[in-house]
Structure 1
Amino acid sequence: MTERYTNARAAAATDRVGGRQQVLATNSLIRNTYLLLSLTLAFSAVTAGAAVVTDAPRPNVFIVLGGYFGLLFLTQYLRNSAWGLASIFALTGFMGYTLGPIINAYLGLPNGGQTVMTAFGGTAGIFVGLSAYALISRRDFSFLRGFLFAGILVAFLASLAGIFLQMPGLSLAVSVMFMLLMSGLILYQTSEMVNGGEDNYIMATITLYVAIYNLFLSLLQLLGLANE
């Protein structure tokens, strides 16, 4: 009996140590993710500002898609090395630069500056609110995985159709879809970090950055249409 009691105490102590280590690992992941996310957003803002100041032309959609997916796959491949950090800054810098001409187009519209700032503020508010909810509630949103994957694929194909077919109604619907899907993606990715579904802060940063980027674009387009 004494031996069983000793073994039980040892097992309980091991569980407590393992639990503390898991909590420390989760906290480290969250801290590193938000630190890297803030840095990549700042760098993206700098490249977007450079594109606005220089009045950079809007790049061809195929160049944007090629650069985005190429750098995305490169970052995924390098995610466990120091080069992954260089790759994610290349990706977010590129995306920021492609955002500059879009912002310039809206700034040229009546009340364009207000539209851009409202989209920025709305994006920040939605991200902070959803992230805080997922962090505090610690709810498991992993059930959204399949829905988000299918929804994003449909929305992406619909956005391409909207570009080539010049259908304003479809573009409006796609913006609404992306706004809802990116909100769900923020909840999902934050939940994955909290509940152990994600252990790589580079990949977590990419997912949150893409969600913020597309959320901002969707709000910008919706607000722009409302101001017309």
Structure 2
Amino acid sequence: MNTSIRSSATQTQTSALESNKVLRNTYALLSLTLLFSAITAGASLLLQLPHPGIIISLVGFFGLYFLTTKLRNSIWGLPSVFALTGFMGYTLGPIIGHYLSMPGGGTIVMNAMAMTGLIFLSLSAYVLTTRKNFSFMGGFLMVGILLAFFAGLAAVFFQIPALALAVSAMFVLLMSGFILYETSNILHGGETNYIMATVSLYVSIYNLFTSLLQILGFLGGDE
């Protein structure tokens, strides 16, 4: 019996050490990808590159996402992550440029950036401090993201500003929930691949930032 207890304790300790390792690697890679994405966004903004459009953006994102998923267990997974986040940074440049061209656009962008950072850090700290398990949110979040995604496409193609604003508000809530879910998933051993954990958190931060931009832009007179 004592042997079983010791074995169980050892397994628990090993699992905790592995989770902490994944967490450290995830935050290290996430920091680098955010920096790289900021550089590509800045380059896109300075060069005044046009936005690739919704179709190319979706094809580029999903293509690079599936490539990263396929390569996640090999050394080529890292270049794939930077290709994905660099591409998303490039698409972000023209979006930021649009808001910077507005009266008070600099304030809108900085506020969206500050709010994104505050939300991410606060939610991550909450999970790491309380160690609560938010795995129960997985199904709800996936359904919500799919609904919001298709509603967002409808808002773009049919040019419905009110729907676009509602979708942005939905994405702020959904991405906040996803940060809780993914951080908890890493902490409790549900996600053991730091490359995929990085991609999940990066996409949440990206969507959170762009959604806040749209909401603050609307409040500032964008629409």
Assess same fold via TM > 0.5: yes
Q: How far did residue 21 of structure 1 move?
A: 1.1
Q: Deviations over 1:176-219 (max 9, x none)?
A: 00000000000000010111111111111111000000000000
User: CA RMSD for the aligned pairs?
Assistant: 0.8
| Partner residue, 1:122 | 115
Question: What TM-score comes out, normalization by structure 2 length?
Answer: 0.97
Secondary structure in structure 1 of the residue aligned to 2:98? helix
Following the alignment from structure 2 to structure 1, what is the Cα–Cα distance between the partners of residues 143 and 2? 48
Output the CA distance in 2 between the equivalents of 1:182 and 1:32.
21
Hey, what does 2:57 align to over in structure 1? 64
1:53 and 2:46 correspond: yes
Q: List alignment gaps of at least 5 residues for structure 1.
A: 1-7
Does residue 217 of structure 1 match 2:197? no
Deviations 1:3-38 (A, max 9, x none): xxxxx2322222222222111101101000000000
Structure 2: segments with no counterpart, 5+ residues: none
* Residue of structure 2 aligned with 1:88, choices 81, 84, 90: 81
User: Which residue does the alignment assign to 1:160?
Assistant: 153
Which residue matches 2:14? 21
| Number of corresponding residues | 221
Counterpart CA distance in 2 for 1:215 and 1:42 is 17
Q: Which of 82, 103, 108 pairs up with 1:110? A: 103
TM-score, normalised to structure 1's length?
Answer: 0.95
Provide the rounded CA distance (Å) in 2 between the counterparts of 1:74 and 1:100: 23
1: CA distance, partners of 2:131 / 2:114: 25
1:59-78 per-position Cα deviation (integer Å, ceiling 9, x unaligned): 12111000000000000011
Give me the whole-angstrom Cα distance separating, in 1, the residues matched to 2:130 and 2:74: 32
> 141, 150, 162: which is aligned to 2:143?
150
For residue 139 of structure 1, give the secondary structure of its aligned residue in structure 2.
coil
Distance 1:183 1:63 in 2: 27
Distance 1:155 1:225 in 2: 18
User: Cα deviations across residues 107-131 of structure 1 (Å, max 9, x unaligned)?
Assistant: 0000000100000000000000001
* Superposition misfits of 4+ residues, deviation over 6 angstroms: none
Displacement of 1:53 in angstroms is: 0.5
Structure showing greater Rg: 1
Percent identity, please: 57
Q: Does 1:192 align with 2:185?
A: yes
